[in-house]
Amino acid sequence: MLFQAALIATGVWSVLAPCYALEGETRAPGPGRLAVYWGSESGSTTLDDVCSDSSYNIVNLAFLNYFFSAGGYPATSIGDLGGPSTAQRDAGATGLQDGSSLISAMKACQSAGKLLFLSLGGANSYADVTLDSDAQGEQMADTLWNLFLGGDSALRPFGDVKLDGIDLDNESSDHTGYLAMIRRLRSHYSSDSSKAYYLSAAPRCSFREASQWLDVYRQADLVWVQFYGCGQSSVAQRSFAEAVANWAGGIGGAQLFIGALASGDDDAGDTAGYVDANTLVASVQSVKGMGLGNYGGVMLWDAQLAVDNGNYQKQIAGSV
């Protein structure tokens, strides 16, 4: 059933502390933000480069791609980071990476007002972020909190840097344990009054196929739908506006971001649905004209592709 724009949210853009948010509230920073993924595509664009680029407001670190790897700890594959630190290796957590080389860039990013999220997942051929039970979901929330957010562990990849949120990019059909994981994360979020923490999600754009995940997406603060590689629902295609309206109405108080490819030249060859900057800008303007109460901005995959494509991000940033 098509959700009509007239039934969507309230249009009130007050900034609420995400850790106290309830479904149906607007719970993220104001609209007009540009989010980007960094760390998966090969190339020379560094996190410093991304963080110093005024085009971006939110940076997703890609990826934590396995929940349970060596020693029962997660595994990450972020940028050109090498292997584990000495402490991680000694603990058997050899799937983690020593991220100390990124700490200065991360602190500069946050000092500039940009949000840093850790993305969980990626393509199924590359990742396994499924859970067996609610108990595993709670366990993983504790692990994420202690390794990457406001908790404490000698194995923290980024030292004392507290990331600003978690991004869910589970591209499987299995969401077992995810609601329990989110509830536990929210509980942790509310325990740290020193900063706000967020939760985002990156579903593929078929609204019908995503129906079993909607309860999860409604718990997010930001949802950047991948409006590419999905036929007539992709950006600028015949059913794009209908897909946008469905998603906007289906995710509760979460902000909706239009996810787009930054280039037609992806390492993995997944370029279906790419549109040039002018076409994306026109499509975004049409979305903004729909009067959605929960429009949030645009998400790009990914920072390296954008640079390689004539700094695509700079061509669209002023229209987000």
| Residue pLDDT tens, the chain, 320 long | 233 333 333 232 323 334 434 343 445 667 899 999 999 999 999 999 999 999 999 999 999 999 999 999 999 999 999 999 999 999 999 999 999 999 999 999 999 999 999 999 999 999 999 999 999 999 999 999 999 999 999 999 999 999 999 999 999 999 999 999 999 999 999 999 999 999 999 999 999 989 999 999 999 999 999 999 999 999 999 999 999 999 999 999 999 999 999 999 876 556 789 999 999 999 999 999 999 999 999 999 999 999 999 999 999 999 99
Quote the CA–CA distance of 27 and 254 in Å, as a whole number: 7
Tell the burial category of 291 from Cβ atoms under 10 Å away from its Cβ (0-12, 13-18, 19+): exposed
Please give the pLDDT value at position 30.
72
Query: For this structure, is 171 an active site residue?
Result: yes
Please give the pLDDT value at position 31.
82
Quote the CA–CA distance of 250 and 258 in Å, as a whole number: 15
Nearest to 129 by CA among 143, 116, 115: 143
Nearest to 142 by CA among 85, 181, 109: 181
CA distances from 29 to 51, 204, 300 (A): 18, 23, 18
For residues 131 and 137, the answer to whether their CB atoms sit within 8 Å is: yes
For residues 157 and 97, the answer to whether their CB atoms sit within 8 Å is: yes
Provide the domain count of the chain.
1
Please give the pLDDT value at position 270.
66
Domain hosting residue 9, numbered range: 5-319
For every residue of 134-185, DSSP letters joined together read HHHHHHHHHHHHHHHSSS--TT-TTTT---SEEEEEE-SS--TTHHHHHHHH
Nearest to 293 by CA among 258, 265, 253: 253
The catalytic residue among 23, 41, 138, 171 is 171
Quote the CA–CA distance of 185 and 143 in Å, as a whole number: 10
**96-102: long-range pairs with CB below 8 Å, 24+:** 96/147, 96/155, 96/157, 97/157, 98/157, 99/157, 99/158, 99/159, 100/157, 100/158, 100/159, 102/47, 102/78, 102/158
Q: Which CATH number goes with the domain that contains 282?
A: 3.20.20.80
